[in-house]
Amino acid sequence: MSLTYPDAIARLLSLVDHERSIPATPRQKRIYDLRGIGRLLTRMGEPQRRPGIAHVAGTKGKGSTAAMIESIMRASGGTTGFYSSPHLHSFCERIRRNGQPIPPARFAELVEAVWPHHLANAADADAGPATLFEYLTAMAMQCFQQDRTDCSVIEVGLGGRLDATNVVTPAVCVITPVSLDHMAILGDTIAEIASDKAGIIKPGIPVVMAPQTAEAADVIRTAARVRSAPLAAVGDDVRWQCAARGIDGQDVTIQGRLATYRARLPLLGDFQGANAAAAVAAAEFLADAGNPITPDSVADGLAGVEWPCRLEVLSRSPTVVADGAHNGHSVAAVLDTLAQYLPFDNLTVVAGFSRDKQVEDMVGLIAGRARRVIATRSRHPRSLRPPEIADAFRRAGMPAGAITTSPRVADALAEAKANAGSGELILVLGSLFAAAEARESALGIPPETYPDLLPADLRQPQPPPPEGV
């Protein structure tokens, strides 16, 4: 009997999951090389050895950039694969084919197919059992090999050098803006973090570098030079301009190496123009490798890109925006962008944070802009309790009367809507997981929950994941 989707999820959740560990125990803390994932893929016949791979690392914008690359290459007529993390609503989102999450039945088939190789690896003293992320990476490689994708976009999970995805030999590498995040894992300085992310650069393989601080740019340029990797820098070799900004998006013009491209980009924020320029630069290198593009296909790809929970407008009466920003740099960018794209009189923030993030930095930025804050928590086991968030806002100088708490994101969003005045903007911020739950509530998306992983105060009987076909 074939494995069902609920059983497949249960099997996956039996693996070590460093994404949800409490306290966080990152895989990089126990992995000294990529031998384990390498041996697993060797047992599977080296499915990661595919042409047309774009490998995307960075702190900010890597998901948006990766989504744009995939959309451009799909609009250009190629078959595409897209591997990303984490998921918003369902594990199936992590492995996409031609822009769509694979069906639950296909997901279960891949879990079942990889399992014997995982067991063999677990019995190998030089390899060991796969973590959840390593297992999912192997599934994605298997899927894209089976489907013989023309182009596969692979988003790094964390860092770069020791990330499980760093077993691929790409046609192009992309490093999006680097900032301070995951410092306990990747390093205490921009230079150290940039060095880890530059670990994806391969000898002779082209690299696209998004706009960086001088410190990060020096590290990335040096790594590319040492490995004889051609480098295209956004802002120098590839330029962009944004215009006609509004709630529905913006017009972008990108001057690439091969042509000039114009498109209507549905994602908000001038930084998305820089991400689009990086995506176009990557697509041009993929074209050099035999995956042709045209100005029209680039325009169609950028116009059709979807990347939820990144300044996503969920409703307009009142206006509700969800964003997964989870560090100080990203929160600052979101707050600065709102006034340009969505004029408002008052700001209510539904705030949910993970406890391993730079909470004080984010709180300080929000406290200076918001009229009111509703502290809440997502279902993620690393989510910070609402009273702890409320205390952080009080320490930041926000009046106690402007802060309330709510046990669940859906409840917090309902409270914000019920009390929204004229010209009010409601912003869900601080965690991709909180933004995803706001999206579920606003759009009626059924969640895929994992009761055993819920924080203790949120546990209650939950239906199993849908069987699907």
What's the pLDDT score for residue 458? Answer: 57
- d(CA 57, CA 59) in angstroms, rounded, equals 7
What's the pLDDT score for residue 456? Answer: 59
What's the pLDDT score for residue 183? Answer: 46
Going from the C-alpha of 468 to that of each of 99, 110, 207, 356, the distances in angstroms are: 19, 15, 40, 34
CATH classification of 5-303 is 3.40.1190.10, yes or no? yes
- Note the pLDDT tens digit of each residue in 347-364: 999 999 998 778 999 999
45 in Cβ contact with 38 (< 8 Å) = no
List the chain domain ranges. Answer: 5-303, 312-458
Of 152, 16, 19, 130, the residue nearest 82 (C-alpha): 152
What's the pLDDT score for residue 342? Answer: 87
Strands 403-405 and 100-101 turn out to be unpaired
Structure tokens at 265: 């980009």
Of all residues in the chain, what percent carry a pLDDT higher than 90?
A: 78
Q: Please report, as a single letter, which amino acid is at residue 185.
A: I
* Model pTM above 0.85: yes
What single string gives the DSSP state of each residue in 115-163?
Answer: HHHHHHHHT-TTT-PPPHHHHHHHHHHHHHHHHT-SEEEEE-SSSSTT-
Grouping H, G, I as helix, E, B as strand and the rest as coil, residue 403 is strand
Instruction: Tell me the CATH class for 312-458.
Output: alpha beta
Residues linked to residue 152 through DSSP beta bridges, in sequence order: 53, 81
Q: Please report, as a single letter, which amino acid is at residue 97.
A: R
Spell out, as residue ranges, where the chain has pLDDT lower than 70. Answer: 1, 17-32, 181-187, 452-469
5 in Cβ contact with 465 (< 8 Å) = yes
Q: Is there a shared CATH topology between the 5-303 domain and the 312-458 domain?
A: no
Of 156, 132, 189, 203, the residue nearest 55 (C-alpha): 156
Strands 207-209 and 172-175 turn out to be parallel
Cβ atoms < 10 Å from Cβ of 445? 15
- Note the pLDDT tens digit of each residue in 32-65: 579 999 999 999 999 999 999 999 999 989 999 9
